[in-house]
Amino acid sequence: AIARKIRPNVPDREAALRELDRAADIAAELIARGHAGSNVDAFVDGVLRRLADLTDEGRLDEAKAEADAAVDRAEAGLAQLLDAAVNQHLLAFDAEGAALQIVRRLTLAATDPSALFDSLRREQDAWYKRGRDEGLRLDLEVAIALARLTYRQGRDSNHRGMALNDLGTALGTLGAREGISVRREASVTAFRAALDEWTHERVPLDWAATQMNLGNALQLLGERESGTARLEEAVTSYRSALKVWTRERMPLDWAATQMNLGVALRMLGVRGCDTARLEEAVAAHRAALEEIPRERMPFDWAGVKLNLGNALQALGELESGTTRLEEAVLAYRAALEELPRSRVPLDWAGGQMNLAVALAMLGERQRGTARLEEAVAAYRASLEVRTREHVPLDWASASGNQALAMLALADRTGDTASASTALAQLKQAAVEMRRGGHIPGAETFEHRIPLAEALVARLSGSPDKG
């Protein structure tokens, strides 16, 4: 029954197994508590009789102490019941119901509204981090529901701004994982509402942080849409944050914002074939690297280096030479030195993917097959981690681009079998991209399918049907 509940809610097989493990633990706890038993009604009746007897006997101080002790015990019992109710809602995959019972449980211990608000935020953060770090969708949904309930408990603009920022963050994380635009739109809405509460004049640092979060949410939306409006809005948000997060006052926050700004500028440059935007992106990433020391912050440094490579690669694609692409390859290889597969497999796979793209571009511009073979190998390495079951959109991107490199290689070597394999792979990648809502990626692969079919027909000696 638990598996049937989880199956329609979690299409990702590995994620479903994680959710099933969690549900099994919850069910075991509920069964154990149930067998332990409770006699609440008998307890209450007994206390009331005891209080009546003590009162009749004039032992009022003893009756008072007895009543206080009974209330403490009853509250402890109610807390246990609420914990059980939370778990039952979780087993039913009812995040909102679980969140409501969590609020009731925390209300028991709260001494005042401000303390309750703080407790709710701590609880929401715990559910959010567990969902984010362990890949648990239900925990993220509980975090979203808790953030909405916490917002209702807010007593002033500061409280409401905090809760809305938490809500936007949780929605954005789940939206990025699921690839569902409704979640990402809701994330943008939450951050915009937070900015109405956290104004620039009253709380400039919180305002800047929310502008940064809004920029990230807009960028995620823009990445999967064919237009540029969202990306332009993201650039505006990042630049707004930089007016407060200056290099002199907050160098690390400034550097992080520069990196995100560079990413949005690169996307805009790619969409519009705009070298000026791409040059701005390169400059933003180089500036960020000046404030992020490789020795003390190797992972952060590697992240910026990867994004610098992406901007250089995009420039190289628009230019006729190979200088920018060679620079991109160097940037990716430097980043991979700080991203060991054993510690950060997904980041390592992303670096391999980006390296492969740059190598494939170089291979198409240079004689021979060495660079193309390196590209196919790098894609293969990435796909060892980026599986279709675990990260379908990332798999589609790596698999589709590997297919394009294989087609270029087959064209030079005359390998019909490899070309046929690549064609089938390209079609599968396009389908997965469209299913996941990444329309620009799907259209890119779909546009190349007729060319791939023509290549296979030519290499096999069959007449071209297109």
From 406, 443, 411, 444, select the one nearest 424 (Cα to Cα): 406
pLDDT for residue 462 = 65
- Map out the domains of the chain as residue ranges: 1-93
- pTM equals 0.73
Q: What contacts 24+ positions apart, CB below 8 Å, involve 337-343?
A: 337/302, 338/294, 338/298, 338/299, 338/301, 338/302, 338/305, 339/299, 339/302, 341/385
CB neighbour burial string for 208-222, b if at least 16 within 10 angstroms, e if fewer: bbbbbbbbbbbbbbb
Distance CA 430, CA 450 (A): 13
Burial of 232 (0-12, 13-18, 19+ CB in 10 A): middle
Residue 432 corresponds to which tokens in the numbers above? 């997965």
Return the H-helix or E-strand segment holding 240.
Answer: helix 229-244
Distances (CA, A) of 298 to 295, 305, 342, 381: 6, 10, 15, 22
Per residue in 47-102, pLDDT (tens digit) is 788 878 878 888 888 888 988 888 888 888 787 888 888 888 888 899 999 999 99
Q: Contact at 8 Å (CB) between 397 and 405?
A: no
Distances (CA, A) of 142 to 101, 123, 147: 11, 10, 9
From 186, 179, 170, select the one nearest 126 (Cα to Cα): 170
Neighbours of 61 (CB within 10 A): 9
Residues of the chain with pLDDT under 70: 1-20, 22-41, 462-466
Residue 330 corresponds to which tokens in the numbers above? 């160097």
